[in-house]
Amino acid sequence: MEYTLMSDTSPATQGPEPFRVSDADLDDLASTLAKTMAEVRQHGVILDRLDSEPESAASQTTDEAAEAQVADGKKADGPASVFILALSGEAYAVELAALSDWVNYLFLPVYGREVSTSRPWCAQWHEHPEAIARLHALWLAWQQFTDTEAGLSGPSTWHRDHLDQTLAHLRAPDGPFAACTTSASRPNHRVLASPAPEQTVVPA
Protein backbone atom coordinates (compact mmCIF):
# COMPACT_ATOMS: atom_id res chain seq x y z
CA MET A 1 0.00 0.00 0.00
CA GLU A 2 1.22 3.50 -0.76
CA TYR A 3 0.13 6.84 0.67
CA THR A 4 -0.09 10.06 -1.33
CA LEU A 5 1.15 13.26 0.32
CA MET A 6 0.72 16.71 -1.14
CA SER A 7 3.86 18.77 -1.70
CA ASP A 8 3.71 22.46 -0.72
CA THR A 9 6.71 23.43 -2.87
CA SER A 10 4.78 23.65 -6.15
CA PRO A 11 4.30 27.06 -7.76
CA ALA A 12 1.04 28.82 -6.91
CA THR A 13 -0.08 28.65 -10.55
CA GLN A 14 0.07 24.87 -10.54
CA GLY A 15 -1.72 22.32 -8.48
CA PRO A 16 0.25 20.46 -5.83
CA GLU A 17 2.20 17.51 -7.12
CA PRO A 18 1.57 14.37 -5.17
CA PHE A 19 4.44 12.07 -4.06
CA ARG A 20 4.10 8.64 -2.67
CA VAL A 21 5.47 7.08 0.57
CA SER A 22 5.80 3.35 0.71
CA ASP A 23 4.63 1.22 3.64
CA ALA A 24 8.26 0.47 4.58
CA ASP A 25 9.21 4.16 4.75
CA LEU A 26 6.10 4.95 6.73
CA ASP A 27 6.91 2.19 9.22
CA ASP A 28 10.44 3.61 9.60
CA LEU A 29 9.04 7.07 10.28
CA ALA A 30 6.58 5.71 12.83
CA SER A 31 9.31 3.69 14.57
CA THR A 32 11.67 6.69 14.71
CA LEU A 33 8.92 8.88 16.12
CA ALA A 34 8.06 6.28 18.76
CA LYS A 35 11.71 6.00 19.82
CA THR A 36 12.05 9.77 20.05
CA MET A 37 8.95 10.05 22.20
CA ALA A 38 10.23 7.27 24.47
CA GLU A 39 13.56 9.07 24.89
CA VAL A 40 11.78 12.31 25.74
CA ARG A 41 9.73 10.55 28.39
CA GLN A 42 12.87 8.89 29.79
CA HIS A 43 14.69 12.22 29.98
CA GLY A 44 11.75 13.66 31.87
CA VAL A 45 11.90 10.82 34.39
CA ILE A 46 15.65 11.35 34.86
CA LEU A 47 15.21 15.09 35.41
CA ASP A 48 12.47 14.47 37.97
CA ARG A 49 14.73 11.98 39.73
CA LEU A 50 17.67 14.39 39.80
CA ASP A 51 15.46 17.06 41.38
CA SER A 52 14.50 14.74 44.23
CA GLU A 53 17.78 12.80 44.74
CA PRO A 54 19.94 15.18 46.85
CA GLU A 55 17.49 15.24 49.75
CA SER A 56 16.69 11.52 49.64
CA ALA A 57 20.36 10.55 49.21
CA ALA A 58 21.35 12.66 52.18
CA SER A 59 18.64 11.18 54.37
CA GLN A 60 19.52 7.68 53.17
CA THR A 61 23.20 8.22 54.00
CA THR A 62 22.26 9.46 57.47
CA ASP A 63 19.96 6.50 58.05
CA GLU A 64 22.57 4.01 56.87
CA ALA A 65 25.22 5.56 59.09
CA ALA A 66 22.90 5.38 62.08
CA GLU A 67 22.04 1.76 61.35
CA ALA A 68 25.70 0.83 60.95
CA GLN A 69 26.52 2.54 64.22
CA VAL A 70 23.84 0.59 66.04
CA ALA A 71 24.84 -2.68 64.36
CA ASP A 72 28.47 -2.27 65.34
CA GLY A 73 27.58 -1.23 68.86
CA LYS A 74 29.68 1.89 68.50
CA LYS A 75 29.00 5.05 70.46
CA ALA A 76 29.40 8.51 69.04
CA ASP A 77 31.97 9.19 71.77
CA GLY A 78 34.03 6.05 70.96
CA PRO A 79 37.77 6.08 70.24
CA ALA A 80 38.66 8.42 67.41
CA SER A 81 42.05 6.76 66.88
CA VAL A 82 43.12 3.39 65.51
CA PHE A 83 46.17 3.45 67.79
CA ILE A 84 46.06 0.53 70.19
CA LEU A 85 46.47 2.70 73.30
CA ALA A 86 43.15 4.35 72.45
CA LEU A 87 41.36 1.00 72.50
CA SER A 88 40.01 -1.01 75.39
CA GLY A 89 38.19 -4.22 76.17
CA GLU A 90 37.49 -6.57 73.30
CA ALA A 91 38.69 -4.07 70.68
CA TYR A 92 42.09 -3.93 72.39
CA ALA A 93 42.31 -7.74 72.63
CA VAL A 94 41.47 -8.18 68.94
CA GLU A 95 44.02 -5.58 67.88
CA LEU A 96 46.72 -7.07 70.11
CA ALA A 97 46.10 -10.53 68.63
CA ALA A 98 46.45 -9.16 65.11
CA LEU A 99 49.62 -7.30 66.10
CA SER A 100 51.05 -10.49 67.62
CA ASP A 101 50.55 -12.34 64.34
CA TRP A 102 52.45 -9.62 62.48
CA VAL A 103 55.27 -9.53 65.05
CA ASN A 104 55.65 -13.33 65.22
CA TYR A 105 55.31 -14.17 61.53
CA LEU A 106 56.81 -11.16 59.77
CA PHE A 107 58.69 -8.78 62.04
CA LEU A 108 60.75 -11.25 64.08
CA PRO A 109 61.66 -13.69 61.26
CA VAL A 110 62.90 -10.83 59.09
CA TYR A 111 64.11 -8.15 61.51
CA GLY A 112 64.57 -9.98 64.82
CA ARG A 113 68.35 -10.26 64.71
CA GLU A 114 70.34 -12.02 67.42
CA VAL A 115 69.70 -11.29 71.07
CA SER A 116 72.68 -9.72 72.82
CA THR A 117 73.47 -7.32 75.64
CA SER A 118 73.36 -4.48 73.14
CA ARG A 119 70.12 -5.79 71.59
CA PRO A 120 67.89 -7.24 74.31
CA TRP A 121 64.53 -8.78 73.54
CA CYS A 122 61.63 -10.21 75.48
CA ALA A 123 59.51 -13.13 74.34
CA GLN A 124 56.73 -11.66 76.47
CA TRP A 125 56.90 -8.28 74.75
CA HIS A 126 53.11 -7.99 74.93
CA GLU A 127 53.44 -7.36 78.68
CA HIS A 128 55.56 -4.26 78.07
CA PRO A 129 53.27 -1.27 77.37
CA GLU A 130 56.00 0.69 75.57
CA ALA A 131 56.81 -2.27 73.35
CA ILE A 132 53.15 -2.69 72.46
CA ALA A 133 52.85 0.99 71.60
CA ARG A 134 56.01 1.10 69.46
CA LEU A 135 55.32 -2.16 67.64
CA HIS A 136 51.73 -1.19 66.94
CA ALA A 137 52.80 2.18 65.54
CA LEU A 138 55.36 0.35 63.39
CA TRP A 139 52.70 -2.05 62.16
CA LEU A 140 50.30 0.76 61.26
CA ALA A 141 53.07 2.46 59.28
CA TRP A 142 53.90 -0.85 57.57
CA GLN A 143 50.28 -1.19 56.43
CA GLN A 144 50.37 2.31 54.98
CA PHE A 145 53.77 2.25 53.29
CA THR A 146 53.54 -1.25 51.81
CA ASP A 147 50.22 -0.47 50.15
CA THR A 148 50.31 0.06 46.39
CA GLU A 149 49.08 3.62 46.85
CA ALA A 150 52.30 4.45 48.73
CA GLY A 151 54.24 4.11 45.48
CA LEU A 152 57.46 2.26 44.75
CA SER A 153 59.42 4.12 47.42
CA GLY A 154 56.91 3.29 50.17
CA PRO A 155 58.79 0.30 51.64
CA SER A 156 62.07 2.24 51.61
CA THR A 157 60.40 5.10 53.47
CA TRP A 158 59.03 2.64 56.02
CA HIS A 159 62.47 1.18 56.68
CA ARG A 160 64.16 4.57 56.98
CA ASP A 161 61.57 6.57 58.91
CA HIS A 162 59.86 3.88 60.98
CA LEU A 163 61.63 0.53 61.30
CA ASP A 164 65.13 1.88 62.00
CA GLN A 165 63.84 4.32 64.60
CA THR A 166 61.71 1.68 66.32
CA LEU A 167 64.53 -0.85 66.51
CA ALA A 168 66.93 1.77 67.87
CA HIS A 169 64.61 2.57 70.77
CA LEU A 170 62.94 -0.79 71.32
CA ARG A 171 66.12 -2.86 71.52
CA ALA A 172 68.43 -0.30 73.06
CA PRO A 173 70.37 -1.45 76.16
CA ASP A 174 68.31 1.00 78.22
CA GLY A 175 65.05 0.40 76.36
CA PRO A 176 61.89 -1.34 77.56
CA PHE A 177 63.68 -4.73 77.49
CA ALA A 178 66.68 -3.59 79.54
CA ALA A 179 65.88 -6.07 82.33
CA CYS A 180 64.87 -8.90 80.01
CA THR A 181 66.71 -11.42 77.85
CA THR A 182 70.21 -10.42 76.82
CA SER A 183 71.31 -13.95 75.89
CA ALA A 184 69.36 -16.62 74.06
CA SER A 185 70.55 -19.19 76.61
CA ARG A 186 69.25 -17.15 79.55
CA PRO A 187 65.62 -16.12 78.87
CA ASN A 188 64.39 -13.49 81.25
CA HIS A 189 61.37 -11.23 81.58
CA ARG A 190 60.82 -8.32 83.91
CA VAL A 191 58.75 -5.21 83.45
CA LEU A 192 60.63 -2.22 84.80
CA ALA A 193 58.72 0.04 87.11
CA SER A 194 57.68 3.35 85.62
CA PRO A 195 57.79 6.63 87.55
CA ALA A 196 54.82 7.07 89.84
CA PRO A 197 52.38 9.68 88.59
CA GLU A 198 52.53 12.96 90.39
CA GLN A 199 49.72 13.30 92.87
CA THR A 200 47.69 16.45 92.68
CA VAL A 201 47.29 18.11 96.02
CA VAL A 202 43.82 19.54 96.45
CA PRO A 203 43.82 22.51 98.79
CA ALA A 204 41.60 22.10 101.83
Top mean pLDDT of 42-46, 75-79, 165-169 is at: 165-169
- Answer whether 111's CB lies under 8 Å from 139's CB: no
Residue 196 in this model has a pLDDT that exceeds 90: no
- Answer whether 124's CB lies under 8 Å from 66's CB: no
pLDDT digits (tens, 9 = 90+) for 126-151: 999 999 999 999 999 999 999 999 99
Q: Which residues make Cβ contacts (< 8 Å) with residue 140, sequence separation at least 6?
A: 82, 83
Domains of the chain, by residue range, sit at 21-58, 84-170
Residue 125 in this model has a pLDDT that exceeds 80: yes
